[in-house]
Amino acid sequence: MSPRSTVAEARRTRSRIIDRSVALASVDGLEGLTIGRLATDLGLSKAGVLGHFGTKETLQLATLERASILFTTLVWEPAADAEPGLPRLRAVCESWIAYLEHAREIFPGGCLFTTAAVEFDAHDGPVRKNLARLLLVWRRRLAGEVRLAVEAGHLPADTDAEQIVHELTGIYLALNQALQLLRDPLAATRTRRSLDRVLPQAA
């Protein structure tokens, strides 16, 4: 086997480990990730898993980064070509609902970030720091879209972008709980009603 093939295989194995870690962490949390479980699920040795990351913390950080990429792919990218401002913000909100309702093959336990936030909100360290950074990046992206909506005249000039983002975040935390814990069949409908109160339907 050539060195190039060996490197490519190592990358594929590392990617498989991270993808499985994302699925497991959405159910059991980042603290629930174990080298033994990953090795068993993927048919690898424990050394084969540990060799790619060195520590559990490194694995947790890699899992967060992959989850962030997947979230962007599922929530932002479907809406990216919509008109900037309110139309795109509404499109993002709709794909955010779809992510929580239907992305079960990738996130079988619902939103990994919600699970991780509960785990790490009272802890210090690199995992909490990186989690907070990723969530702030998302909030800033949403706030930027609210401000574009104001500039375009889609929303009133005195709209508080940070307040809108705060309320949107609360709506989607409630949706995740309603879907995961309460199994509420009306969860998405209630979410859309809440969105209509926070954001107008059309410019």
CB 116 within 8 A of CB 29: yes
The answer as to whether 127 is a domain residue is yes
The answer as to whether 61 is a domain residue is yes
The answer as to whether 186 is a domain residue is yes
| pTM value > 0.85 | yes
pLDDT tens digits, residue range 118-145?
999 999 999 999 999 999 999 999 999 9
Closest CA to 200 of 139, 157, 158, 149: 149
Q: What is the CATH number of the domain that holds 139?
A: 1.10.357.10
Count of domains forming the chain: 1
The predicted pLDDT at position 202 comes to: 47
The answer as to whether 41 is a domain residue is no
